[in-house]
Structure 1
Amino acid sequence: MTTPPGFGPPIPVQPPYGAPPPAPYGAYPAPYPGVPHGAPGGAPAEGPEFVAHDRRNSVIVDASGVALEVDGHTLDFPWAGVAAVHHAPAPYGHVLMVTVTHPGGMRYECRVDARRRARLHQWLAELGPVLHHYLAGRA
């Protein structure tokens, strides 16, 4: 008996062009080529930082831009790719909502559970000045 056509071993699929090889488990993947990440020469960029995270989501704001992680998916926005960043407490619970608006109009939202109202107020107090530092003076 022969195998019917179309039912053989799987055909290998090539990764998309420009995609870096997968990083080993636990290692932080390298940024895509051509995307600025930090200061020239690989040195960490200077400026204030903000980090908020829970078990599933996180928001990081630093000199390289804004990074949102939602359920294991990371979105990195260098400052050149950010039109605006909005933040507010959710109308329920102890949740920080951060929305990044792309120059093309697309919006990306991340919600981070602070678990305590005091931590939420601390995040709100820290995030405002950090965003002002990087977004002040932009048209």
Structure 2
Amino acid sequence: MEQRIGSSSKPVEGEPVTGAGFDPAFIPGLTAPLRAEPEDAKPAAESEEQPEPAEEPEAAAAAAPAEPEAEDEDEAPEGGPVFEAADRRAKFVADHRGVRLSLDEENCEFRWDEIAAVETESPRFGKRFTITVHTPDRRWYPIEIEAAARARFKEWEEQLDAVLDSYFEEA
């Protein structure tokens, strides 16, 4: 009997390829899945169409309609409390828009209605402060931030509690 190594399931033609079933490294909210390019597509260099010459920056700015400064008009005002902790690789920000995590070049963002809980953990030894964002679908996203001194842990917890008390609504 012949045995195959690897997955025998293949994506349906024309359907988007998403989820951990096709990409074991897929984590919702972190990055958009890569789309497979059709086999008959030509590379951009071989394209027969010539790009139009670029407009002058002033003309392009005048032709484009003015965009509003805020992303949503129903957003909370920016005057509320903000918590931000960062080190050389990681960054955690909690403000009126929600929670944003960054590690190296990877980013993910959660609105307040997408968060079930936010948990902090201070190590007994060492200087790595851990913040974990839990979502209602039982996923969690931890991030470790290295503090300059252990004394920052208490300060960070107090600041994060103030932000959570202001914006996070328990259902």
Q: Same fold (TM over 0.5)?
A: yes
TM range (shorter): 0.5 to 0.7
Partner of 1:112: 145
Amino acid at match of 1:110: I
Query: CA separation of 1:43/1:99 partners in 2, compared to 1, >3 Å: closer, same or farther?
Result: closer
Structure 2 unaligned residues grouped into runs of 5+: 1-41, 46-69
Contact 2:82 2:95 in 1 (8 A): yes
Contact 1:39 1:45 in 2 (8 A): no
What CA distance in whole angstroms lies between the structure 2 residues aligned with 1:42 and 1:126? Answer: 21
Query: CA separation of 1:94/1:48 partners in 2, compared to 1, >3 Å: closer, same or farther?
Result: same
Structure with larger Rg: 2
TM-score by length of 1: 0.65
Higher strand proportion, which one?
Answer: 1
Aligned residues: 107
- Report % sequence identity: 33
What CA distance in whole angstroms lies between the structure 1 residues aligned with 2:129 and 2:88? Answer: 14
Structure 1 unaligned residues grouped into runs of 5+: 1-8, 13-36
Pick aligned residue for 2:95 from 37, 45, 62: 62
Partner of 1:132: 165
The 5 Å alignment of 1:1-139 reads 39-40=72-73, 45-136=78-169, 138-139=170-171
Query: CA separation of 1:86/1:38 partners in 2, compared to 1, >3 Å: closer, same or farther?
Result: farther
What CA distance in whole angstroms lies between the structure 1 residues aligned with 2:76 and 2:140? Answer: 30
Query: CA separation of 1:63/1:39 partners in 2, compared to 1, >3 Å: closer, same or farther?
Result: farther
Amino acid at match of 1:135: F
